[in-house]
Amino acid sequence: MASVFGENIKISIFGESHGPAIGVVVEGFDAGFKVDTEKLQEFMSLRAPGGKMSTKRKEADQVKFLAGIKDDVICGSTFSAIIENTDCRSGDYSNLYDVPRPGHADYTAQMKYGGSQDVRGGGHFSGRLTAPLCIAGGIARQILEKKGIEIYARIKCIGKENDPAPTKYPELCEMKKIDARFPVYNADAAERFEKVVEDARMDGDSLGGVIECAVFGVPTGLGGPLFDGIEGRISQAVFGIPAVKGVEFGSGFGGSQMYGSENNDGFYYDENGLVKTYTNNHGGILGGISSGMPIYFNVAFKPTPSIAKVQDSISLKQKENTKLEIKGRHDPCVVLRAVPCVISAAALSIYDLIKD
Amino acid sequence: MASVFGENIKISIFGESHGPAIGVVVEGFDAGFKVDTEKLQEFMSLRAPGGKMSTKRKEADQVKFLAGIKDDVICGSTFSAIIENTDCRSGDYSNLYDVPRPGHADYTAQMKYGGSQDVRGGGHFSGRLTAPLCIAGGIARQILEKKGIEIYARIKCIGKENDPAPTKYPELCEMKKIDARFPVYNADAAERFEKVVEDARMDGDSLGGVIECAVFGVPTGLGGPLFDGIEGRISQAVFGIPAVKGVEFGSGFGGSQMYGSENNDGFYYDENGLVKTYTNNHGGILGGISSGMPIYFNVAFKPTPSIAKVQDSISLKQKENTKLEIKGRHDPCVVLRAVPCVISAAALSIYDLIKD
Amino acid sequence: MASVFGENIKISIFGESHGPAIGVVVEGFDAGFKVDTEKLQEFMSLRAPGGKMSTKRKEADQVKFLAGIKDDVICGSTFSAIIENTDCRSGDYSNLYDVPRPGHADYTAQMKYGGSQDVRGGGHFSGRLTAPLCIAGGIARQILEKKGIEIYARIKCIGKENDPAPTKYPELCEMKKIDARFPVYNADAAERFEKVVEDARMDGDSLGGVIECAVFGVPTGLGGPLFDGIEGRISQAVFGIPAVKGVEFGSGFGGSQMYGSENNDGFYYDENGLVKTYTNNHGGILGGISSGMPIYFNVAFKPTPSIAKVQDSISLKQKENTKLEIKGRHDPCVVLRAVPCVISAAALSIYDLIKD
Amino acid sequence: MASVFGENIKISIFGESHGPAIGVVVEGFDAGFKVDTEKLQEFMSLRAPGGKMSTKRKEADQVKFLAGIKDDVICGSTFSAIIENTDCRSGDYSNLYDVPRPGHADYTAQMKYGGSQDVRGGGHFSGRLTAPLCIAGGIARQILEKKGIEIYARIKCIGKENDPAPTKYPELCEMKKIDARFPVYNADAAERFEKVVEDARMDGDSLGGVIECAVFGVPTGLGGPLFDGIEGRISQAVFGIPAVKGVEFGSGFGGSQMYGSENNDGFYYDENGLVKTYTNNHGGILGGISSGMPIYFNVAFKPTPSIAKVQDSISLKQKENTKLEIKGRHDPCVVLRAVPCVISAAALSIYDLIKD
């Protein structure tokens, strides 16, 4: 078991899509830090349902602190925050114990929990559980920002459409310009992304995509060798986001096709006497340890498994093959809403590393 | 800190490339299991130096049990095994405290440990540290095999060369046929791989590649949601192998370009009444939990950073830019020797999950 | 940091005495187990304020499940329960940032959290935080009971008064007879305990005591050597209860004065062919591993630090010595209310061990 | 499973009494610290066999660093040290799989590991396993000393004999005077202790005792509430020492008989403006957090279970009651040799806390 994330900070997420509330318990965040709750709520809204690419479910995702934060200031030991579920229509999901949806956790959860899992809306496996992740991650990002560490992410591609970047690895000045509400470099990319998603939705289908994340201002010397490497730590957080199926750092899979002489990043002293590398194919991490260069990684999201098209499935009760037509409200593409989730995973990982 | 791997089994790796010994302490392996030491040594030999793609360093990598294994039988609590380092030529590495090698951990370790790290042969960051990983992993694989779980891996590509597979996702019968000493499907692939690596070596350069790993016979219901997912667990182990920069499960990054209707794997009952999926884009994992289908993942290795070509670096002592020409014995491509390491990472992850 | 308890189950407790709510997140409890909520509430009531020995604060301590339990059945992954704080009179505590109460965490929390801690009612350090412990522990105890493991505890002494036991180590049949609402063997002990506590209260003073706990039906072979021993595991849970300052297993400190020939417990086969020991000075644990005999341990509670008498303290603001007179509602003796807490600590430890 | 100790440092101990070697892997110790190996060996010698109270087994306990320490300097990530077993006479123990020794782990290990455990000399459960604990603890103590934290321990009582202290709680100046080779306050106590142990030995019997440990110079604000408290952390380490059956902090069990007004420790500012308490019944820990006063705790050791007297036992093979007469070399009292073990447990706990 390992649903608690973190070595030095601890995050426990709880809740189901259609239960009374979802929430998070957090330990180890800096006592005395004053949370900018307005900024947090704004960050949460990037993940909240609404907009063309999203489910029709309406949730304000209003964060309510239960404990450990007084007058917006972190008291010191443990804090807890919840979001009450409001717009649940559980009637839509009654069939799922019997006929599991392809690409979902219905079948595997059934096997693991013997039918005791709350299946409504995906239960504990719902993308909705990323809301508590974003509470913890959003606060961690605020704390990191005060320490000079800034995290940005953008949509790199959706389906086969992509948004070409001005440089191979994103620069802080470029990423700061990006509109957080639809984080792409080029205005036409937003349009193209919206169009392919809308086309998929109209066709009863869905799309996935890739999010690129960059962490600027990371001190040198975080992380460590072997199982203590930054890549492993960030991965564990990132794979905590439902629908993630791949992660790569720096040149990643592309780098595996390069020669060493191309992929190696030569060192130099910059004009301020700081050690830099000419390129950043190592994605800011060498030997599992931060080099001081920005940390870059890409995250692959599979297409939303809930689609309107008829699919092959089985009836667990009848023990026979059957067809399934999914009803309910679903995102044709989670990638846009997943951006704050990836940022949160990065923020929590880096914050955890800094506390080493 | 997290150099200890595992929730239910525990692996602690220690050693430096040129110290007296490297080794591993292991806890939680099945008491009473009799290790096939000959088979283990054979498995170790796949990782050991030797052969065209490899460093000229000669190490028999003879496993020596210090404790916890008596007459080849696991006693029950903790066991420890070491490999004594024999063929060390430390004179080769004296310059590394001053002029860090691009793509290596020299600089980051220097920043983290303030110059106390043992830099000889890469010290604790050396690929040599995967030998203890293979001791633990090799034994875990033997235990899993007794439980009906089989793990295979093969070289998918080296540089731009690849070895086309007979089916999109490997099948047990296909993978069993593969020669473990050079795990490719097609004989010509071995030749092509050897050629590009030899060409790179002759050119003072190096190559990376991708390894595909498959785990057959995994019971349904292992793993869990969020940070407890199998993807995150395997990733943490896999990123513990030096030079790994990416990991993807099932359709992975490719799947992010597909439609949901393509990527979803429809369920059906097979002739024996077992639940299967027609395809396996989910790589055997749904919602972080095993589906009973084989677990598939790909691992991206960067090209060996040690190359003979002159590179840009810095002198930390002089605080100025300089050029570096690396001497010493190095692998022009680690991918072949990394195959047992990936198998070991998989074996340890799956064994850990089974013990949940 | 380690506020998360458990290796195989995970418990995270949050809340402050006077915040909106206190609660717990629990992971790893048996999916499908149906919680007897009435019995749980009854167990909670043993800890709740009320009665002669207790604070005048009134809290129904009504358990509210936020997630992970549906129709009283544990869904499987994580569940969360809270108790809303109702009867808070925070005005009583305003002085505590300046003048720390002797024997309390006011000063040490101030040093740790720099004044950000919520000091009202003891904040996160309040005995009130044992309520969430009892939610998790009460449910764990129910689960264990189904597995044939029964846990009882009784007041052994309060101040210098004690309740003589019919046998050196309690037997299940004896402990089952005890009234959970005031767990003593002899009726007159209850009276004597109440009298010394009332006398202390009238005198503006307080008392501590010792609780004895016994776990019956523990399977042989739980725990392990060194840091994995049952004693260390139970201790970590027990010292999580505020005011605990000592713990001993079996003959404990008394045993350290005995000869080996007295303290050793000879083995024998009982009439059913089961291995037993004639005595139980080992408290059911040998080499950190359960022997199958009942596990016994004693827990020492210090006297409640909140007393009405004038005490020496300091003004942190004025940086000078001062006198302190504590107001507010306090327990003259926590021992009675601590009984379910000790049971909970035992239940969670044993449940965690069983899941190894 | 939890044989790995530590949150921020990690200690994994391995080995069996009669295997090739015993050892430890340590992670997280300060890179660059130069170990005083002579002082370490001297510390080890306090635990090593020899002397009147001890087994006749002869072991030099020579520490050999396998990795991670170069020229006596800690490299930074993981280090490993072993002690090779030399004077093993395994013939003495052949009967132990069948007839378990009372008070030992023979029976419980048999139940846990199904007969695969190495039973020779107590195997992994032998007191000999405290030697690796002392390697890690001895180094941790050296590091702490550099940070102004000093740890001492003394024998408080053996059997019914005790060594009266000059003050209720030991003071640094007093403890510094004590001879580490036989740590008592009064010369006559040493004689009395030796006499009762010798008498017990002559009688084929054994004795236990109590060790008092004090940690001076602990910074304020270490530890935390609930499961994060210092008491729980130290306990986990201390119960890792074989034969420990109780631990108490400050006034401990005695304090549970006091009134709050007696047990509370009033605060004051000393002449240097530092916050102190007049007494130290809290043992330097309030609310699980260090107060800056010395940390005090007592540890109860049971009498050595190996005695020459005939004892009741069973034959597991014959499934019948039998008598047992133990042969071999054993300590009539482990308390003297356990002093460095308690110091080591304290050093590792405090070091771990400081790294929080």
Find, among D99, D147, D46, the residue nearest to D312 by Cα.
Answer: D99
Closest CA–CA distance from residue A162 to any residue of chain B (Å): 10
Contact assignment for C15 to A66 by CB distance below 8 Å:
yes
Q: Which residues contact B37 (CB under 8 A, 6 or more apart)?
A: B63, B72
Q: Does A224 touch chain D (CB under 8 A)?
A: yes
- The beta-carbon neighbor of B269 closest among A258, A266, A321 is A321
ipTM value: 0.96
3-state secondary structure of A101: coil
Contact assignment for A266 to B312 by CB distance below 8 Å:
yes
pLDDT-based confidence at residue D122 (cuts at 50, 70, 90)? confident
b/e A78-100 (16+ beta carbons within 10 angstroms → b): bbbbbbebeebeeeebebbebbb
Q: Count, in order, helices (H) and strands (E) of chain B.
A: 9, 18
The token duo for C157 is 């002494």
Q: Does B16 touch chain D (CB under 8 A)?
A: yes
- The beta-carbon neighbor of A82 closest among C13, C66, C124 is C66
Higher pLDDT, B316 or D86: B316
3-state secondary structure of B118: coil
What is the C-alpha to C-alpha distance for residues A341 and A133, in angstroms, rounded to an integer?
A: 7
Chain centroid, CA D134 distance in Å: 8
Q: At what angle do helices D37-47 and D335-354 cross, to 10 degrees?
A: 130
**Residue B71 confidence (pLDDT):** 94
Size of interface A-C (CB pairs under 8 A): 163
Q: Does B291 touch chain A (CB under 8 A)?
A: yes
Contact assignment for C314 to D206 by CB distance below 8 Å:
no
Q: Which residues contact C29 (CB under 8 A, 6 or more apart)?
A: C9, C74, C79, C139, C140, C143, C351
Best B75, B77, B227 residue to mutate vs chain C (most C CBs within 10 Å): B77
Identify whether the C-beta of residue A122 lies closer than 8 Å to the C-beta of residue A96. no
Query: What residues of chain C score a pLDDT lower than 50?
Result: 1-2
Q: Which residues of D touch A224 (CB under 8 A)?
A: 77
The token duo for A194 is 């919206």
Mind listing the pLDDT tens digit for each residue in D70-112?
Answer: 999 999 989 999 999 886 665 656 677 899 999 999 999 999 9
Q: Does D193 touch chain C (CB under 8 A)?
A: no
Amino acid at C353: L
Q: Does A288 touch chain D (CB under 8 A)?
A: no
Identify whether the C-beta of residue C305 lies closer than 8 Å to the C-beta of residue C102. yes
Name the region of C221 (left: φ>0; alpha: ψ -120 to 50; beta: rest): left
Find, among C234, B25, B147, A176, the residue nearest to D25 by Cα.
Answer: B25
Contact assignment for C31 to A116 by CB distance below 8 Å:
yes
Q: How many CB atoms lie within 10 A of CB C232?
A: 26
What is the C-alpha to C-alpha distance for residues A136 and A130, in angstroms, rounded to an integer?
A: 10
Closest CA–CA distance from residue A115 to any residue of chain B (Å): 12
Q: Does B225 touch chain C (CB under 8 A)?
A: yes
Which residue of chain C comes nearest to A69, CA vs CA? C118
Q: Does D88 touch chain B (CB under 8 A)?
A: no
Which residue of chain D comes nearest to A224, CA vs CA? D77
Contact assignment for A79 to C14 by CB distance below 8 Å:
yes
A117-126, B155-164, B336-345, C23-32: least confident range: A117-126
Chain centroid, CA D126 distance in Å: 13
**Residue C4 confidence (pLDDT):** 78
The angle at the Cα of B84, spanning B79 to B88, to the nearest 5 degrees, equals: 150
Q: Does B90 touch chain D (CB under 8 A)?
A: no
- The beta-carbon neighbor of B77 closest among C8, C77, C224 is C224
Q: Which residues of D touch C311 (CB under 8 A)?
A: 261, 264, 266
Contact assignment for C111 to D278 by CB distance below 8 Å:
no
3-state secondary structure of D280: coil
Find, among D353, D5, C352, the residue nearest to B12 by Cα.
Answer: D5
Higher pLDDT, B14 or B94: B14
Q: Which residues contact B166 (CB under 8 A, 6 or more apart)?
A: B174, B185
Burial of D56 (0-12, 13-18, 19+ CB in 10 A): exposed
* Tokens 């009179």, located at residue: C89
Task: Give the pairing of strands B10-14 and B4-5.
Answer: antiparallel
Q: Which domain holds residue C264?
A: 4-354
Identify whether the C-beta of residue B344 lies closer than 8 Å to the C-beta of residue B133. yes
Identify whether the C-beta of residue D21 lies closer than 8 Å to the C-beta of residue D88. no
Identify whether the C-beta of residue C79 lies closer than 8 Å to the C-beta of residue C69. yes
What is the C-alpha to C-alpha distance for residues A76 and C109, in angstroms, rounded to an integer?
A: 9
Contact assignment for B225 to A159 by CB distance below 8 Å:
no
Closest CA–CA distance from residue D87 to any residue of chain A (Å): 37
pLDDT-based confidence at residue A17 (cuts at 50, 70, 90)? confident
Q: Which residues of D touch A77 (CB under 8 A)?
A: 224-226, 228
Identify whether the C-beta of residue D322 lies closer than 8 Å to the C-beta of residue D311. no
Q: Does C229 touch chain A (CB under 8 A)?
A: no
DSSP letter at B17?
Answer: T
pLDDT-based confidence at residue B1 (cuts at 50, 70, 90)? very low
| Start-to-end C-alpha separation, chain A | 22
The token duo for B263 is 């990527």
| Start-to-end C-alpha separation, chain C | 22
- The beta-carbon neighbor of D226 closest among C240, C264, C312 is C240
Mind listing the pLDDT tens digit for each residue in D134-150?
Answer: 999 999 999 999 999 99
Q: How many CB atoms lie within 10 A of CB D98?
A: 17
Closest CA–CA distance from residue D296 to any residue of chain A (Å): 25
Q: Can you give the CATH number for the domain in which C97 is found?
A: 3.60.150.10
* Tokens 């969360």, located at residue: C80
- The beta-carbon neighbor of A70 closest among C21, C109, C118 is C118
Find, among B17, B261, B48, B266, the residue nearest to B120 by Cα.
Answer: B17
pLDDT-based confidence at residue B175 (cuts at 50, 70, 90)? very high
What is the C-alpha to C-alpha distance for residues B247 and B251, in angstroms, rounded to an integer?
A: 11
**Residue D1 confidence (pLDDT):** 44
Q: Which residues contact D71 (CB under 8 A, 6 or more apart)?
A: none
* Tokens 């030697």, located at residue: D131
Q: Does A90 touch chain D (CB under 8 A)?
A: no
Q: Does A62 touch chain C (CB under 8 A)?
A: no
Higher pLDDT, B275 or D97: B275
A128-142, A314-328, D87-101: least confident range: D87-101
Q: Which residues contact C311 (CB under 8 A, 6 or more apart)?
A: C101, C102, C323, C324, C325, C326, D261, D264, D266
Chain centroid, CA D72 distance in Å: 25
pLDDT-based confidence at residue B29 (cuts at 50, 70, 90)? very high
Contact assignment for A19 to C66 by CB distance below 8 Å:
yes
Q: Alpha helix (H) ranges present in B212-311?
A: 230-238, 252-255, 260-263
DSSP letter at B100?
Answer: P
- What is the DSSP code string of C17-78? TTSSEEEEEEE-PPTT-B--HHHHHHHHHHHSS-STTS-S-------EEEESEETTEE-SSE
**Residue B3 confidence (pLDDT):** 67
How many separate domains does chain A show?
1
- The beta-carbon neighbor of A225 closest among D8, D77, D224 is D77
Mind listing the pLDDT tens digit for each residue in C30-66?
Answer: 999 999 999 999 999 999 877 656 666 666 789 999 9
b/e C88-119 (16+ beta carbons within 10 angstroms → b): beeeebebbebbbbbbbbbbbbbbbbeebbbb
What is the C-alpha to C-alpha distance for residues D57 and D205, in angstroms, rounded to an integer?
A: 18
Closest CA–CA distance from residue D217 to any residue of chain B (Å): 26
Higher pLDDT, D3 or D286: D286
pLDDT score of B305 more than 50: yes
Beta strands in chain B (DSSP E): 4-5, 10-14, 21-27, 64-67, 69-70, 73-74, 78-84, 150-158, 161-162, 209-216, 244-249, 267-269, 275-277, 285-286, 289-290, 295-301, 311-315, 320-324
Chain centroid, CA B129 distance in Å: 11
Q: Does C288 touch chain B (CB under 8 A)?
A: no
pLDDT-based confidence at residue A1 (cuts at 50, 70, 90)? very low
Closest CA–CA distance from residue B42 to any residue of chain D (Å): 24
